[in-house]
């Protein structure tokens, strides 16, 4: 959603607009010095890279010159925006260990699939973006549909991220809301405008390091304080019983997924595997250009394929940095009689404040500055990821394709920079839009689910079935979106009111939670697109011959030669290791 759109936790931010006043954090001079040093560093990096920005490819694509370790960490960091750090900790507090599914079945398998099967087509086709690949594989109208929807989605996502950051910092440290938006947007604009995608990627690596340094001590100190994992499990059992669930519901992954009513997430095992593990996760990691762009900036095919695999290893352990503090926060809240987390407008614990309250509780001056800067870095990395994807799609897939063709490369470099400025300004406007509507996050998450789920079905058929046609792909995308809209209009989650959250046609279908509803909508959207693409393709003539599809379709593409690459470095081998590790984690915390 939002940048990280496949994750169905937009609901966690719907209350950030109405936070109950709380005691603010008090940053010392050392804390502000750390934050200022971070700002100066990211701007200096952008200035240093400015001299490399001579062509549009340099600015928008990094000249396809970056090493795998850089693109790999940037691939991960581009996903570490507001919805990841704040949202996943909130999810851990609200839903418990089941939140780890977003990593161990909702990310790792899809990242391995991208590396082994899909990255050779993206990189080998020389497409400059995901929409451009759709043009090569299908036709212009399919590309235009995806380019337009993606551009709108990235702007809205950036706006939501800016709004959440500004409102959070206004609440935590008393900073002015408008100043927060202006300063953070200006800093991201400055270093992206100076150094293009390369500056964004190198800063994302730096931001990844800041997030690691900022949150790792928090997880270690807090876990030790509550008595280790065994002590935490005992406290989480109390949380589960107090909320009328079986002991272990907050500390186990699979034992309570036999029925949606057995867990607070309101999802059974099939919805978890199909909705999240397949449709939503593959629909994000395998087709969302804001993350795939990082892999496409790699210096070689081998580096591009290793990019998602390098990102997957830290992704395996990120629940310990992000979800674990949320688990500890809800345990402390229960042990304090509900006084650890502030109350949201509805009187319930404000789960969004899990990370900030943990920072306040465990960090002193210096460490607080590092943790606070890590929080700021997560927001800025998400904003930069969206803006750099937006300027590329706008320049190549919209402007060059439909507005001004056959202009000089210098002209498109200028357009790319102008698109960066416009993208930031539109993101700021979207942030103010978000500040006016309590339900904007649910809307954005829903729209993203409509877009990504059918898009993955289109890519799956396009890459692995040569008979898929442009007419079939376009009809499938539109049909999948309509199918999702119809189910949304006919369903409603428990406790929700008809309207933006569903039920605007009728309410014959009910779900235990909004998340379960979103998973089902995504599954229906994917199925409709998949079926319609097949039917329409069989009924229409193929507009491309086999030679035109070579390098775009699996069966028509020669097998990649690994050359002298060691067997243990091959993507399939590394991917297999990652899947075994993910399976082991699922088994251990089952």
Domain annotation for the chain: domains and CATH numbers: 23-438 (1.20.1730.10)
What is the number of alpha carbons within 13 Å of residue 226 lying toward its C-beta?
29
> What is the mean pLDDT of the segment spanning 441-462?
76
What is the distance between the alpha carbons of residues 343 and 327, in angstroms, rounded to a whole number? 17
pLDDT digits (tens, 9 = 90+) for 228-246: 999 999 999 999 999 999 9
Q: Please give the pLDDT value at position 210.
A: 87
Residue 19 has pLDDT above 50, yes or no: no
Task: Look up residue 91 and give its DSSP letter.
Answer: H
450 vs 350, residue with greater confidence = 350
Q: Please give the pLDDT value at position 374.
A: 86
pLDDT band at residue 569 using 50, 70 and 90 as cut-offs: confident
Question: Is this model's pTM higher than 0.85 or not?
Answer: yes
Q: Which residue has the tokens 């407008």?
A: 345
The per-residue b/e assignment along 209-235, b for 16 or more CB within 10 angstroms, e otherwise, is ebbeebbeebbeebbeebeeeeebbeb
Nearest CA among 202, 204, 220 for reference residue 317: 220
pLDDT digits (tens, 9 = 90+) for 146-195: 999 899 888 988 888 888 888 888 877 888 999 989 998 999 999 999 99
How many CB atoms neighbour CB 561 within 10 A? Answer: 6
What is the distance between the alpha carbons of residues 122 and 287, in angstroms, rounded to a whole number? 10
How many Å is the Cα radius of gyration of the chain? 23
Average pLDDT over the chain reads 86
In contact, 210 and 371? CB cutoff 8 Å: no
Nearest CA among 389, 189, 417 for reference residue 291: 389
Written as one string, the DSSP assignment of 292-350 is HHHHHTBSSHHHHHHHHHHHHHHHHHHHHHHHHHHHHHHHHHHHTTS-SSPBBTTSSB-
pLDDT digits (tens, 9 = 90+) for 244-286: 999 999 999 999 999 888 998 888 898 889 888 898 899 889 9
451 vs 354, residue with greater confidence = 354
- Torsion sign across C-alpha atoms 246, 251, 254, 257: positive
pLDDT band at residue 10 using 50, 70 and 90 as cut-offs: very low
What is the distance between the alpha carbons of residues 494 and 336, in angstroms, rounded to a whole number? 28
Lowest mean pLDDT across 28-37, 134-143, 444-453: 444-453
* Cα three-residue angle 551-144-185, rounded to 5 degrees: 105
Residue 329 has pLDDT above 90, yes or no: yes
18: tokens are 């109405």
In contact, 272 and 105? CB cutoff 8 Å: yes
563: tokens are 């050359």
């Amino acid at each position: 959603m939002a940048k990280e759109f496949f994750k169905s936790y937009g609901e966690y931010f719907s209350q950030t607009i109405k936070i109950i006043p709380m005691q603010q954090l008090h940053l010392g001079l050392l804390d502000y010095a750390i934050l200022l040093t971070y700002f100066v560093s990211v701007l200096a990096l952008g200035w240093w890279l400015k001299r490399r920005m001579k062509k549009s490819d340099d600015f928008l694509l990094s000249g396809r010159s970056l090493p795998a370790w850089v693109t790999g960490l940037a691939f991960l960091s581009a996903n570490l925006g507001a919805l990841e750090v704040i949202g996943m900790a909130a999810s851990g507090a609200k839903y418990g260990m089941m939140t780890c599914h977003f990593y161990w079945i909702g990310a790792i398998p899809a990242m391995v699939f991208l590396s082994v099967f899909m990255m050779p087509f993206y990189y080998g086709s020389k497409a400059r973006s995901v929409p451009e690949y759709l043009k090569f594989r299908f036709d212009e109208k399919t590309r235009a549909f995806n380019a337009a929807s993606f551009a709108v989605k990235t702007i809205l996502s950036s706006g939501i991220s800016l709004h959440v950051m500004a409102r959070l910092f206004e609440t935590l440290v008393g900073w002015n809301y408008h100043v927060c938006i202006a300063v953070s947007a200006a800093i991201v604009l400055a270093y992206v405008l100076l150094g293009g995608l390369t500056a964004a990627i190198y800063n994302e690596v730096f931001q990844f390091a800041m997030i690691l340094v900022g949150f790792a001590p928090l997880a270690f100190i807090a876990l030790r304080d509550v008595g280790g994992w065994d002590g935490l499990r005992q406290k989480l059992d109390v949380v589960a019983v107090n909320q009328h669930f079986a002991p272990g519901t907050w500390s186990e992954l699979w034992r309570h997924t036999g029925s949606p009513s057995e867990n607070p997430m309101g999802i059974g095992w099939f919805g978890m595997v199909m909705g999240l593990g397949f449709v939503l996760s593959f629909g994000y990691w395998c087709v969302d250009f804001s993350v795939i762009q990082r892999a496409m900036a790699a210096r070689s095919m081998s580096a591009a394929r290793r990019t998602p695999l390098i990102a997957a290893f830290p992704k395996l352990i990120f629940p310990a940095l992000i979800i674990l503090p949320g688990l500890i926060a809800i345990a402390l809240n229960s042990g304090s009689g509900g006084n650890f987390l502030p109350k949201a407008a509805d009187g319930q614990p404000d789960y969004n404040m899990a990370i900030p309250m943990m920072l306040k509780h465990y960090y002193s001056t210096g460490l607080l500055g590092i943790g606070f800067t890590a929080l700021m870095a997560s927001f800025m990395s998400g904003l930069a990821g969206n803006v750099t994807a937006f300027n590329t799609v706008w320049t190549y897939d919209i402007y060059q394709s439909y507005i001004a063709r056959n202009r000089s490369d210098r002209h498109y470099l200028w357009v790319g920079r102008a698109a960066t400025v416009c993208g930031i300004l539109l993101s700021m406007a979207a942030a103010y839009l978000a500040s006016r509507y309590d339900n904007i996050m649910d809307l954005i998450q829903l729209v993203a689910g409509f877009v990504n789920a059918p898009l993955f079905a289109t890519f799956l058929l396009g890459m692995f079935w040569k008979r898929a046609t442009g007419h079939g792909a376009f009809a499938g995308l539109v049909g999948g979106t309509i199918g999702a809209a119809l189910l949304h209009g006919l369903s409603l989650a428990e406790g929700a009111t008809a309207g933006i959250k569903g039920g605007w046609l009728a309410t014959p279908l009910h779900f235990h939670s909004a998340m379960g509803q979103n998973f089902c909508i995504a599954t229906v959207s994917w199925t409709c697109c998949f079926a319609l693409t097949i039917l329409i393709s069989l009924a229409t003539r193929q507009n491309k011959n086999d030679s035109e599809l070579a390098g775009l379709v699996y069966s028509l593409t020669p097998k990649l030669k690994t050359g002298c690459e060691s067997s243990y470095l091959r993507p399939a081998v590394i991917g297999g290791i990652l899947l075994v590790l993910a399976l082991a984690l699922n088994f251990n915390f089952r």
